[in-house]
Amino acid sequence: MGAEKKWLFTLFSGAFITLLIFLSFISGFSSSYYYAFPPHKPFPSTVHHEPGHPPSFAYYISGGRGDGERLFRLLLAVYHPRNRYLLHISADGSDDERLRLGTMVKSMPAVQAFGNVDVIGKPDPYTYMGSTNIAAILRAAAVLLKVDGGWDWFVTLSAMDYPLITQDDLSHVFSSIRRDLNFIDHTSDLGWKEGQRIQPIVVDPGIYLARRTQIFHATEKRPMPDAFRVFTGSPWVVLSRSFVEFCVFGWDNLPRTLLMYVTNVVLSQEVYFHSVICNSPEFKNTTVNADLRYFVWDDPPKMEPHFLNTSDYDEMIKSGAAFARQFEKDRPVLDMIDRNILNRGRNRVTPGAWCRGRRSWWIDPCSQWGDVNVVKPGPQAKKFGESIDKLLDDWNSQSNSCT
Bridge partners, residue 182, by sequence? 287
Per-residue model confidence as pLDDT tens digits over 14-26 = 444 455 444 444 4
Q: Residue 39: CB partners within 8 Å, gap ≥ 6?
A: 115
Per-residue model confidence as pLDDT tens digits over 58-74 = 999 999 999 999 999 99
Highest mean pLDDT among 10-14, 146-150, 163-167: 163-167
Q: In the prediction, which pLDDT does 126 show?
A: 72
Query: Beta-carbon neighbour count of residue 24 at 10 Å?
Result: 12
Give the domain ranges of the chain.
5-396
Interatomic CA distance for residues 80 and 285, integer angstroms: 30
% residues pLDDT > 90 (the chain): 60
Per-residue model confidence as pLDDT tens digits over 371-389 = 999 999 998 999 999 999 9
- Of 320, 302, 329, 269, which Cα lies nearest the Cα of 65? 329
Q: How much is the pTM?
A: 0.90
125 CA to centre of own chain: 17
Q: In the prediction, which pLDDT does 401 show?
A: 73
Backbone angles phi, psi at 40, to 5 degrees: -80, 160
